[in-house]
Amino acid sequence: MRAVKFVGNGCVEVVDVPKPKAAKGWVVVKVMASALCGSDLHAYFSGKGSEATPGHEVAGEVVEVGEGVSRLRAKDRVAINVIYGCGVCKFCRRGDWIFCNKGTVIVAGDAEYLAVPERNCFLLPSDLSF
């Protein structure tokens, strides 16, 4: 699959990377919309670049569900909170993933597919465009 990489000095490349698979409790989403935010620009203008794929504010369609996923199904339309934590600390249990005791991970959306925990997906109404 293809993904965007900021390689530094205002240069962008589209690279081939492995397509993610749905782990236990996770889903794979085909990205239909993604946006850049101000934090992405640090890597874009950096002289070093970044190995990270940029892109936040992601929406797409579920294409694969992992074992234990109960709320989502293939073809569900979702918006994605791209920040996730451990899922079990007091902050994660109340949905404040950014304060996770074990640290947070940011999933980036400028790729054809991404894998995320089911808990980070929010169903979109059918009359709302991506």
Q: Tens digits of per-residue pLDDT, 85-129?
A: 888 999 988 988 889 988 888 787 899 999 999 999 999 999 999
**pTM: predicted TM-score of the whole model, two decimal places:** 0.87
**What is the per-residue pLDDT for 89?**
93
- Consecutive H or E run containing 29: strand 26-35
How many of the other CB atoms lie within 10 Å of CB of 58?
26
Determine the longest span between alpha carbons in the chain, in angstroms. 44
Domains in the chain: boundaries:
20-34+55-123
CATH number 3.90.180.10 is the correct assignment for the domain at 20-34+55-123:
yes
Residue 61, token pair as written in the block: 């369609």
The conformation of residue 46, written as its DSSP 8-state character, comes to -
Rounded-to-integer distance, Cα 6 and Cα 28, Å: 23
**What is the per-residue pLDDT for 49?**
66
**Virtual torsion, Cα 89, 91, 95, 100, nearest 10 deg:** -80
